[in-house]
Amino acid sequence: MKVIIVGCGRMGAELAYRLFKRGNDVAVIDRSDESFNKLPSDFQGRLYEGEALNQDVLERAGIKTCDALAVVTEGDTLNIVAAHMARSLYKVKNVVVRNFDPQYRTLFEAFNLQVVSATGWAAQRVEELLYHADLRTVFSAGNGEIEIYEVTISEVWNSQKLGKLIANQACLAVSVTRAGRAFLPTTETVLETGDVLLVSATLDGVQSIRGRLGLRQETE
């Protein structure tokens, strides 16, 4: 895959190196050649010093034939304009853009951009861990709005129906693993001690599950 990374800060350098190690053809654009020093010494991608909105720079980096472009500078306005130009002018199908300041998130959404907000995701992840340190996150979708959690069923929920635990529209059971074999559960599935339940939920949804687990433990 041919990929262009715009911005060689900590995130851009890490992303470029990860893609390079996976065998992709990676080009990196940054306005300062000193930024390229963040790349590991064995990185063998192509480096282009220049402005991200300069069409000559973009075309030399291969934007006309690239498969994907990631715009990950610390300037939200630059990221939006560069991403919009890549999609509208060069018809790059796969464009991912970084949102640095959460207050500009709605602007990214107005342009219908595939956006990653590291600050927003990290803040939500910390909040989640503060509330739910006893639940393990195994997958995070989008910017953490929906996550998949792993819950080990304790003795107090043995022989209880899953529907009693997942009683919130903000939660959806994904699978149950029992004795090493996974299956798709329903609300009528009877839980057993040691079952490993995967549940997709919002922050509010998993808070509901945690509350129910705690409620049953208190009443048993």
**pLDDT one-digit tens code per residue, 49-98:** 999 999 999 999 999 999 999 999 999 999 999 999 999 999 999 999 99
Regarding pTM above 0.75, the answer is no
For the chain, what is the domain count?
A: 2
What is the edge-to-edge ordering of all strands in the sheet holding 68-71? Answer: 46-49, 25-30, 2-6, 68-71, 94-98, 114-116
Assign residue 200 the CATH number of its domain: 3.30.70.1450
Q: What sign has the CA pseudo-torsion 23, 25, 30, 36? A: positive
Q: Which residue has the tokens 């029992």?
A: 178
pLDDT at residue number 219? 42
Phi-psi region of 130 (alpha: psi -120 to 50; beta: other; left: phi over 0): alpha
Give 6 or 116, the one with higher predicted confidence: 6
Assign residue 14 the CATH number of its domain: 3.40.50.720
Same domain, 27 and 110: yes
Same domain, 214 and 194: yes
Residue-wise pLDDT tens digits, 97-133: 998 888 888 888 888 888 887 776 666 666 655 655 5
Same domain, 189 and 91: no
The domain in which residue 69 lies consists of: 2-119
What mean pLDDT comes out for the span 3-22?
Answer: 95
Residue-wise pLDDT tens digits, 135-186: 677 787 776 788 888 888 888 899 999 999 887 778 899 999 998 899 999 9
Same domain, 20 and 85: yes
Looking at this protein, which amino acid is placed at residue 117?
Answer: S
Same domain, 10 and 76: yes
Tokens of residue 125, six digits:
């992840």
| DSSP 8-class letter at 193 | T
HSE at residue 125, side-chain half, CA atoms within 13 A, is 16
